[in-house]
Amino acid sequence: MRADGPTVAELFGAAAKRGVIVKGLLWRSHMDKFAYSEEENRSLSDDIAAAGGEVLLDQRVRRGGSHHQKLVLLRHPGRPELDIAFAGGIDLCHSRRDTAEHHGDPQAVQMSAAYGKNPPWHDVQLALRGPVVGALDLCFRERWTDPTPLDQHGPISTAVDRLKHADQHADELPPQPPDPPEVGSLNIQVLRTYPAMRPPYRFAPMGERTVARGYTKAIRNARHLIYLEDQYLWSTEVAELFAAALRANPGLHLIAVVPRHPDVDGRFALPPNEVGREEAINLCRRAAPERVHVFDLENHAGTPVYVHAKVCVIDDVWCSVGSDNFNRRSWTHDSELSCAVLDETRDERAPAAWGPRRFARDLRLALTREHLDRGDDDTALIDPLDVVREMTTTADRLQSWKDGGRKGPRPPGRVFPHQTKRLPWYQRVWAVPAYRLAYDPDGRPWRARRKGTW
């Protein structure tokens, strides 16, 4: 099926034909028979190369790892005011083209049957201007110019690349343009994850874990509300950060919006996906049973919405949007890219005693309005305690309507209480090790692992 508009390959290919310098790095990925996208990525690389661009398949990752960064840069030498970057959680692939109504992408990829033929998809991306574009440009250039061979995992894949005449050598990039001028009142910090690996990245010989360090500092400073949306919310190491903050601050609440179901089915794939979240959520709930509020989403047709967003807003002051999930894999093992934002503009809407900022609060309000079907109405959503009450009340009302057979008019909103269940012992005995070793591996240097530091 072809939707209206050009494909990704056609879009970038047309730009290359116009004389635009098109350079790209794609994760080489795993084989299609394992539900990955190696052939699709190779086809995109070939199509853009035929148009005059250069897109390389990059496998400079740890075994079992991936390049998970999502970044598009548009530079205009001589006209820096036009420079823009896009970074966040959205992949350039099928199933991501949804709207706030969440009817799903007509061009869907296969997922768990619970999400239907066209899985509804919730995601968040930033459009960025100003000097941060230069910082993101540098991120791309560091990977592009790294001298390590692109294919790191064995003679078979190398032979396949050679047989298919894959481009394995990066051409020289043009000089990096000056940073664009400052715009607006946002201070943006680029956070990244790179694993410790051999051969090492030249620009990060021991890896990089600024994503983990940025979140650690922000979470430890939380006092009122941690609002997050995350695809996974795994890992006891990450959950312990939330639990410690909740124990230290009796007025702190945690709201988490997660998918109702994993994106996969199957006797062997499903249990490791379920056990990690169950352990993390229960750890937080033990720390503060009345102050941990976990929800999932359902569209108005009754189909669960797959939450792929990676967003965190702390006290309506600090926020982050990126490719990283709240798990050990994203914080240590794969390549990730996130933008932390601190707005200089204070938000004067009450309550404001602790200094909430305009952008962070507006981001959190936009997301909660969508989930509660509020349109442009922020009533009872600004105060952290009020939004906890409104989301909990809405979720409980919808759950009661669902449990009652969906009789009568559907109450407004899309949030439901998220249910977790403990796996039986005979599944846990193999699912827990599989989750820790394969699904949520640790990419830190051994010294950091032993010390328990990021």
Structural tokens at position 300 = 């108005």
Q: Which SS3 state, helix, strand or coil, does residue 12 take?
A: helix
| Residue 143 clears pLDDT 70, i.e. is over it | yes
Distance CA 289, CA 205 (A): 42
- Give the mean pLDDT of 87-93: 95
Structural tokens at position 264 = 């996969």
Domain boundaries, the chain: 8-89+124-163, 186-451
| Residue 414 clears pLDDT 70, i.e. is over it | yes
Q: Could you tell me which residues come within 8 angstroms of residue 77 by beta carbon, excluding any fewer than 6 positions away?
A: 174, 177
In angstroms and rounded to an integer, the radius of gyration of the C-alpha atoms of the chain is 22
* Chain position carrying tokens 């790191």: 152
> Any idea which architecture 186-451 has in CATH?
2-Layer Sandwich (3.30)
How far is CA 313 from each of CA 233, 271, 318, rounded to the nearest angstrom?
15, 30, 6
Q: Which amino acid type is present at position 45?
A: S
Return the closest-CA partner of residue 126 out of 178, 71, 53, 171. 71
User: For a pLDDT cut of 90, what percent of the chain falls above it?
Assistant: 85
User: Within a 13 Å sphere around the CA of 157, how many CA atoms are in the beta-carbon half?
Assistant: 18
Structural tokens at position 267 = 């006797």
pLDDT tens-place string over residues 14-65: 999 999 999 999 998 754 444 445 666 678 888 899 999 999 999 999 999 9
User: Within a 13 Å sphere around the CA of 340, how many CA atoms are in the beta-carbon half?
Assistant: 17
- Give the mean pLDDT of 415-426: 94
* Of 17-21, 32-36, 412-416, 447-451, minimum mean pLDDT range: 32-36
Kindly indicate the confidence band of residue 161, based on its pLDDT and cuts at 50, 70 and 90.
Answer: low
Query: In this structure, what is the dihedral angle of CA atoms 24, 26, 28, 31, given to the nearest 10 degrees?
Result: -130
Give yes or no for a cis peptide into 199 (omega within 30° of 0): yes
What pLDDT shows up at residue 35?
44
- How far, in whole angstroms, is CA 317 from its chain's centroid? 20
What pLDDT shows up at residue 37?
52
| Residue 328 clears pLDDT 50, i.e. is over it | yes
- Give the mean pLDDT of 384-412: 97
Kindly indicate the confidence band of residue 103, based on its pLDDT and cuts at 50, 70 and 90.
Answer: very high
Kindly indicate the confidence band of residue 267, based on its pLDDT and cuts at 50, 70 and 90.
Answer: confident
φ, ψ for residue 72, nearest 5 deg: -130, 130
What pLDDT shows up at residue 403?
97
* Chain position carrying tokens 């390959």: 9
Distance CA 233, CA 236 (A): 9
Q: Taking a C-beta distance cutoff of 8 angstroms, is the pair 414, 297 a contact?
A: yes
Distance CA 453, CA 443 (A): 12
Distance CA 399, CA 390 (A): 14
Show the CA angle centred on residue 440, arms to residues 284 and 388, nearest 5°.
30
Q: Taking a C-beta distance cutoff of 8 angstroms, is the pair 189, 144 a contact?
A: no
Kindly indicate the confidence band of residue 1, based on its pLDDT and cuts at 50, 70 and 90.
Answer: very low
What pLDDT shows up at residue 384?
96
Structural tokens at position 47 = 């199509």
What pLDDT shows up at residue 36?
47
pLDDT tens-place string over residues 187-210: 999 999 999 999 999 999 999 999
What pLDDT shows up at residue 310?
98
Q: Which amino acid type is present at position 308?
A: H
